[in-house]
Structure 1
Amino acid sequence: MVTQITEGVKISVETIYQPEYSNPLYDHYMFAYKINIENLTGYSVQLMRRHWQIFDSNGTHREIEGDGVVGLQPVIEPGASHEYVSGCNLKTDIGSMKGCYAMRRLVDSEEFEVNIPEFIMIAPYKMN
């Protein structure tokens, strides 16, 4: 698990290789990732947008942007957290992701950016 705190918002990420959805013969590797967003501030925040950078070990780089996460723009109260699971397909058995969330403080509508720490996605057989 990797963790980072930015502007009082803690992001923790865990990854899971999904062999049942992968097909190495066709360079298709599927990974799930679970993200926990914890609000350590004294005010409510809302996750407005996401921006991802995805890297395959063959040098391929993709960027993805969009509103919210998995169809939601969750409001996270002080001391509370929001957790979700999503997925990423790679062309190689090793890759990484990093990015940021655009958050908004509800008290004054001020927007700020929260870093998502870089995390590695690696098929377990590469660990031997």
Structure 2
Amino acid sequence: MYRAITAGIEVSVEPIFLPEQSDPEESHFVWAYQVTIINHSPDIVTLISRYWHITDELGRVQEVTGDGVVGEQPRLEPGDSFQYTSGCPLGTPSGIMVGRYTMETETGDQFEVDIPAFSLDLPGQRTVLN
């Protein structure tokens, strides 16, 4: 489990390798990742957009942006949480994802919330850090 807290917004991520959707012989590896967002701040916030920076083990970078997450722009009151699952295909057996959410308060103020960097690794594969 990977976790970051920014401005009272906690984001935790748990990646899971999906062997049934992967085909190593075709250099196709797929992970799901479950994200939990908890609002520990005193403000009501809405998740407006997301940004992902995905790097595979060869250093190739993919950037993904979009409105909300999984087709939603969740509104979180103080103490509320929101959980979703999404996925990431890679052409290599490992990689790293990191990102941020843009949140908006009820008064229209926007701020960035860190999504912690997390590792996508093939189970049983030896991990080498650069």
Structure 1 and Structure 2 fold alike (TM over 0.5): yes
Provide TM-score, normalisation by structure 2: 0.95
Cα offset for 1:125? 2.2
Aligned to 2:118: 119
Distance 1:41 1:115 in 2: 15
Cα offset for 1:127? 4.7
Aligned to 1:57: 57
Query: How many residue pairs are counted as aligned between the two chains?
Result: 127
Aligned to 1:99: 99
Aligned to 1:26: 26
**Sequence identity (%):** 43
One-letter amino acid of the counterpart of residue 115, structure 1: D
One-letter amino acid of the counterpart of residue 66, structure 1: G
RMSD across aligned positions (CA): 1.0
Cα offset for 1:113? 0.3
- Does residue 73 of structure 2 align to residue 66 of structure 1? no
Provide TM-score, normalisation by structure 1: 0.97
* Deviation readout 1:93-120 (Å, 9 max, x if unpaired): 11010000000011x1100000101000
Distance 1:97 1:59 in 2: 12
One-letter amino acid of the counterpart of residue 24, structure 2: P
* Deviation readout 1:64-92 (Å, 9 max, x if unpaired): 00000000000011011000000000111
Distance 1:119 1:125 in 2: 17
One-letter amino acid of the counterpart of residue 19, structure 1: P
Distance 2:3 2:59 in 1: 25
